[in-house]
Structure 1
Amino acid sequence: MNRREAVRNVAFLMGGALSATTIGVFLEGCNSTSTKANSSLFTADQQKLVTEVADIIIPTTSSPGAKAAGVGPFITMMIKDCYPDDAQKAFTKGLEDLEKQAKDEYKKSFMELTVPQRQELLGKLRDVTVAATKAEKEKIDQQKAPETTSILPKDKPKMEPRFFSIIRDLTLLGYFTSEVGATQAYAFVEIPGRYDGNVPLKPGQKVWS
């Protein structure tokens, strides 16, 4: 199984933990419709910013964090190769807005902020994103669109792509499909024994990869 197949499988397993934008990308086969040259989508500073944001979402604890797992380059690669134009624009604008908010609130760039300041800033962004997504879903529900059993994105009401949702999704996907995430954040046995789907976990024990 290659990396792209692994990422797609994890996306389906995570299900409701992912935003509609990311689920749609994988259901449609990870085919970007962008007409913009991939090399010009992110500046060098923006690529560094993505890495630092991911490392706040999954920091180093008893196991290495997102930066150590190489999640930053994974995120920018996925945005360039898999996400449609509207999601790419929302993502790059989100990076610009995050930098502007850091300067407005702390008079510093995001890269100059302390870890607690970064956490506070991203916490606010998370809360705004959750509220906006909830309001949008309620509005769609009120429109009473015809019910469909299809799971294809083209048959579902389109949700607005949001920066925080996308970077959260790709941080989780990138981390838990990386070697670091699979072997150090999870309990890993290179040559496992028989399959047992009902193994009790002890308090504090890592989930099996």
Structure 2
Amino acid sequence: MNRREALKNVAILLGTTISASTTTILFESFTLPENEKNAVAFTDDQKKILTEMAEIIMPTTKSSPGAKAAGVGKFIPMMVNDCYPAKQQQRFAKGLSEFEERAQTEFGKNFLALNNTERTKMLIDLRLGAIAQKESKDAATADISYFFTITRDLTLLGYFASEIGCTQARAYLPIPGRYDGNVPLKPGQKSWAT
């Protein structure tokens, strides 16, 4: 099974956790022309921003490492460049630039220079803005909302497709037995990855 097939399967397993637009892109990326790939280039700082955002979305806990340890910060730009059409890549990059500008406007410093509380506040505000934009269809905030939605979706997809997500964040059974769709979980028990 190749990487895209595996990611598509994870997207199906995650179901409605991932937005319809991301699921559609994953299914249609098999026919993405080569000239559509790598339409945008991400700087090292932008990759670090995506890494820090992913860690806020999927933080390290007592029971499992977070998105940073799973390599999600490298996964997001790779997926955007390899699977998203040029127009969506440019829209994502524009939203990322708007996000960087918002950090400067709100806090007077780069997102990477913010403390964890400020970073978390920015992501909460971004999430609420994306929800409001979906309802209002405000074109002024469309790109930054799109950027947040794709970042969130790819964080979840990358994390739960990673070895850490499959084996440490979820219960992993390397040799599954029979299928049982109604297995009772004990309080605090992890859900099954396979």
Q: TM-score, normalised by structure 2?
A: 0.87
Higher Rg of the two aligned structures: 1
What pairs up with 1:3-18 in 2 under 5 angstroms? 3-18=3-18
Correspondence list, 1:1-209, <5 A: 1-33=1-33, 35=35, 38=38, 41-62=41-62, 63-136=64-137, 162-209=146-193
Native 8 Å contact 2:67 2:159 kept in 1? yes
- Structure 2 unaligned residues grouped into runs of 5+: none
Q: CA deviation at 1:195?
A: 2.8
- Structure holding more helix per residue: 2
| 8 Å contact kept, 1:33–1:85 | no
Moved more, 9-18 or 107-116: 9-18
* 8 Å CA contact 1:30, 1:83 repeated in 2: no
**Distance in structure 1 (CA, Å) of the matches to 2:135 and 2:29:** 27
Q: CA deviation at 1:4?
A: 1.6
Give the alignment's TM-score, normalised by structure 1. 0.81
Tell me if structure 2 keeps the 8 A contact 1:31–1:82. Answer: no
Can you list the C-alpha shifts for 1:84-124, whole angstroms capped at 9, x where unaligned? 12211121112111111111111111001111111100110
Identical residues among aligned pairs (%): 53
Structure 1: gaps of 5 or more residues = 137-158
Residues paired across the two proteins, number: 187
CA gap 1:71/1:21 in 2 versus in 1, 3 angstroms: same
Quote the residue 1:150 is aligned against.
none
Q: Which has the higher contact order (CA 8 A, sep 6+)?
A: 1
**TM superposition outliers: structure 1 runs of 4+ over 6 Å:** none
